[in-house]
Amino acid sequence: MDVSSPSAERQALRWAQRALRAASPEEALWWAARAYAAAPSSPPIRAVVRRIRRRFPNARGRPPARWPRWIIGIGFLYGLLTLIAVLLIAWGSGAVDPWELLEEGEPPLPEAVALDPALDAAADLRRRDRQGSSTATSVEESSPTATPLPFTPAPSPSPSPHPTFLPDPSPTPTRIPRPAMTVPSRPRPTVSPTPLPGPPFPGRWILVDLSDQELTAYEGETPILRTKVSTGRPRTPTVIGTFRIYLKLRAQTMTGPGYRLPNVPYVMYFYKDYALHGTYWHNNFGRPMSHGCVNLPTPIAEQLYQWADIGTPVVVQP
C-alpha cells in the first residue's frame, strides 16, 4: 500500500478512531496496528499508537469477535418459532385468543332476533317515523316554493330593529302534526335491593335468589326444581329484576376480559348478555363466581333447558 497516498491516510485515520472507541484492550491494539501499517509516517497515527501502548502496555492485538451471519439468522429464526409455538399453546389451552383480545364485556350475543315485544314495538315505531319523515320531505321538495318580495320596513309607532318581509300570496305546504306515541322501555338492572312480591306468574317461571345463591323453578306456586348456583361477583354483579328468556342455545363459546370458554352448554339468555347456562370449569356452586351470568351444574342446566321455553319469566331478587 502506498503510505503517501491520501486515501491510505484517511483509511488509517478511520482505523485509529475505531482503536480509540474499542471495547477491549486487545481490540484497540489490533485496530491501532492496522492504522500504523497503513500510514506509518503519519504523525496523528503514531500519536494514537503511542497513546494506546501507554494505556495498555501488556495487551496483545486481537481482531474483534464477530458472529457469523448464518448464526445470527438461525438465532432469529429460533426465537420467532418459539414465540409462535407459545402463542399456539396458549390458544389451544383456551388461555388467550389472538383474534378476540380486543373484545370487552360479557359474552357477546349471537346474531339473532330477540323475541322481546317491547323491542319489536320500538323498532316498528322507528320504522314508521322514518317513513313519515321521508314522505314529508318528498312532498316539500315537489311543492312550489314561495318567493319573497323586496322587503320594506313595517310602519309602527315604535322603531323595529328588523325589517318585515311581505309574504307571497302563493300557497305553502303545511305539515300535519302526528300524535305523540310513547315506546315502552325495557327493564333496566338495579344495584339496590328491591322487594319482590310472591309468585307473580300462574305458569312456569324461574326464581334466582342472590343472597342464598339458589335457583328454584316453579309451576305457579309449586316448586319443581331447586339447586345451588353461582351468580356474579361484586365487580360484575348479576342484574336484579323481572325478565323473560328470549334466546336459547345448546352450546356457545363465551369470551371476555381474561377468559375464553368454548362450548358452554345449555345457554338461556334472559337480559342482554346475561344468561343461565351450564358450567364445567368449576364446582363451587353456592358462591358468587361468574361475570354476571347464572352458573348452573350442567345436568341441572340440561333439565332446565328442556323444561323452560322462550318467554319463561326469570325473577332475580337480591
Average pLDDT, the chain: 75
Question: Domain spans of the chain?
Answer: 6-55, 69-96, 204-317
pLDDT of res. 232: 95
114, 106, 108: which is closest to 248 by C-alpha? 114
Say which residue, 127 or 105, is predicted with more confidence: 127
> Which region among 62-71, 148-157, 201-210, 257-266 has the lowest average model confidence (pLDDT)?
148-157
Asked whether the predicted pLDDT for residue 10 surpasses 60, the reply is yes
Q: Which residue, 196, 194, 277, 294, is CA-closest to 236? A: 294
Which strands sit side by side in the sheet containing 241-244, from one edge to the other?
Answer: 222-228, 214-219, 204-209, 313-317, 241-244
Instruction: Give the pLDDT score at 45.
Output: 81
Instruction: Give the pLDDT confidence of 38-83 residue by residue, as tens digits.
Output: 888 888 888 888 887 787 776 665 555 556 677 888 888 889 999 9
* pLDDT above 60 (res 318): yes
Which cell numbers in the block locate residue 129?
Answer: 317515523
Q: Which of 106-110, 112-116, 295-299 has the lowest mean pLDDT?
A: 112-116
- Dihedral (Cα; 265, 271, 274, 280), 10-degree rounding: -20
Residue 272: its pLDDT value, please?
Answer: 93
pLDDT given at position 49? 82
> Can you give the pLDDT at residue 302?
95
Is the distance from CB of 89 to CB of 284 less than 8 angstroms? no
Residue 261 has pLDDT above 90, yes or no: yes
CA–CA gap between residue 249 and residue 268 (Å, rounded): 7
For the domain spanning 204-317, the CATH number is 2.40.440.10
% helix, strand, coil for the chain, step of 5: 35, 20, 45
How confident is the model at residue 28, as a pLDDT?
A: 80
pLDDT band, residue 139 (cuts 50/70/90): very low
